Amino acid sequence: MEPIVLWQHKWGLTFHIPWYLFLGGLAGGTMTVACLADLLTGSQGRLQRFAKAAAYVTVPAIVLGGLALTFHLGKPERGIAFPLFFTNYQSWMTIGGWILGAFAPLAIAYAAAWYLNSGRRFRVLLAVVGAPLGVIMSLYTGFLLSAAWVIPGGRWYVPLWDNTYLPVLFVLSGLSTGVAAAGLGTLLMARFSGPAAHDPMEVAEMASLTDVAAIVVEAAWVYLFFSALQVGTTGQQLAYKLVTGSDLGPWFWWGFIATGLAAPLVVSVIQQLARILFHAEGKLVLGLKFLLVLTGGLMLRYVIVWGGDLKTPLVFPPSMWPVPGIGGPPIPGLGG
């Protein structure tokens, strides 16, 4: 018997949530890489400048992302005063509110520590807390989708939002986009702040090479994710076909795979060859690469959210469902 495919045309109409997931994951990524670079810096000036740029980018990312989520709720005051309104402490919406409530002040304090040239000891203290909190922030954006749509029996109401792969994918994407945002921020700050004491290309090239590794790991995880969907349950197989070969196919292949993964790697090779053969500086090329990574990260969120319109299919007609109390399970308090 053919399964009955269920659709709910809801997520394909949303604008705020993909942006929040993108900006939240990006902020988590920039915070993580900023703190790690700060902790590992030693005498490496490049790492210090990279950490500073990443810390600065984190603040607008989390502010804009938080606003996108708050206004999506329909009642922004509830998002702002979430401790009073979100009382289901097993919900990832509530857990995420506390994560965001801890992350945003820490991100602002860490950026302020860089801006005010606070002592390294204070920054290191913030970085020790900020590095794992950044990872948790990115993880939360994945669990917000996957954990919100579980149904009894361990089955997923939205087969694409699999909590085995999705949270890790959002962490890896947050790291790759976070490194790209920090690299782009370095170039922009050098462009608009006048003559710099240090060459911003040193930091941008370091960010570019780091991003190559992040993109390769992310691409490998995407392959594992969609390979599992391809041979998974009926719903997962339908989700695989929806994303890779149906209406979402162009967004997935051209918007995410080509723009966010393949093209940045190609641009990296071109930039390195131009630098070696022609001694070209390549600021515009690196800026283009960082923009491609960021665009691909946003397209990934749109594909994942839009794919939520496909629900787990029914394997038998609704007319065959057991009716409580009539040859089926007893009605609580009344019996069968």
At residue 309, does pLDDT exceed 60? yes
pLDDT band of 108, cuts 50, 70, 90: very high
Asked whether residue 326 is domain-assigned, the answer is no
User: Left (φ > 0), alpha (ψ -120 to 50) or beta: where does 155 sit?
Assistant: beta
The predicted pLDDT at position 333 comes to 46
Asked whether residue 273 is domain-assigned, the answer is yes
The residue among 179, 163, 155 whose CA lies nearest residue 293 is: 179
Query: How large is the greatest C-alpha to C-alpha distance in the chain, in angstroms?
Result: 84
Per-residue pLDDT tens over the stretch 248-284: 999 999 999 999 999 999 999 998 888 888 777 778 9
Please give the helix or strand (H or E) that residue 4 lies within, else none: strand 4-7
The mean pLDDT of 20-28, rounded to a whole number, is 95
**Cβ–Cβ < 8 Å for 199, 178:** no
The mean pLDDT of 94-118, rounded to a whole number, is 90
Per-residue pLDDT tens over the stretch 193-232: 655 556 788 889 999 999 999 999 999 999 999 999 999 8
Query: Is the pLDDT higher at 180 or at 327?
Result: 180
Asked whether residue 124 is domain-assigned, the answer is yes
Asked whether residue 335 is domain-assigned, the answer is no
Give the number of other Cβ atoms within 10 Å of residue 284's Cβ: 11
The predicted pLDDT at position 74 comes to 63
CATH of residue 116: 1.20.1630.10
Q: Which two tokens stand for residue 297?
A: 């990260």
User: What are the DSSP calls for 151-186, one per residue?
Assistant: ETTTEESSTT--TTTHHHHHHHHHHHHHHHHHHHHH
Q: Which residues pair with 314 in a beta bridge?
A: 4
The mean pLDDT of 64-89, rounded to a whole number, is 67
The mean pLDDT of 167-177, rounded to a whole number, is 97
Maximum mean pLDDT: which of 145-159, 263-277, 309-323:
263-277
At residue 7, does pLDDT exceed 70? no
Q: Which two tokens stand for residue 311?
A: 């629900």
At residue 331, does pLDDT exceed 50? no
At residue 332, does pLDDT exceed 50? no
The mean pLDDT of 302-326, rounded to a whole number, is 69
What pTM value is reported for the model? 0.86
Asked whether residue 120 is domain-assigned, the answer is yes
Distance CA 94, CA 322 (A): 35
Asked whether residue 331 is domain-assigned, the answer is no
Into how many domains does the chain fold? 1
Distance CA 162, CA 111 (A): 34
Distance CA 149, CA 146 (A): 6
- Mean residue pLDDT of the chain comes to 83
The predicted pLDDT at position 325 comes to 46
At residue 319, does pLDDT exceed 80? no
The predicted pLDDT at position 334 comes to 44
Give the number of other Cβ atoms within 10 Å of residue 113's Cβ: 21
**Cβ–Cβ < 8 Å for 307, 260:** no
Share of the chain above pLDDT 70, in %: 76
Asked whether residue 328 is domain-assigned, the answer is no
pLDDT band of 116, cuts 50, 70, 90: very high
The predicted pLDDT at position 156 comes to 59
Q: Which residues pair with 155 in a beta bridge?
A: 151
Query: Is the pLDDT higher at 199 or at 143?
Result: 143
pLDDT band of 155, cuts 50, 70, 90: low
Asked whether residue 285 is domain-assigned, the answer is yes
- Give the domain extent around 146: 4-315
Burial of 317 (0-12, 13-18, 19+ CB in 10 A): exposed
- Amino acid type, 100: L
Q: For 291, which DSSP code?
A: H
The residue among 97, 30, 17 whose CA lies nearest residue 61 is: 30
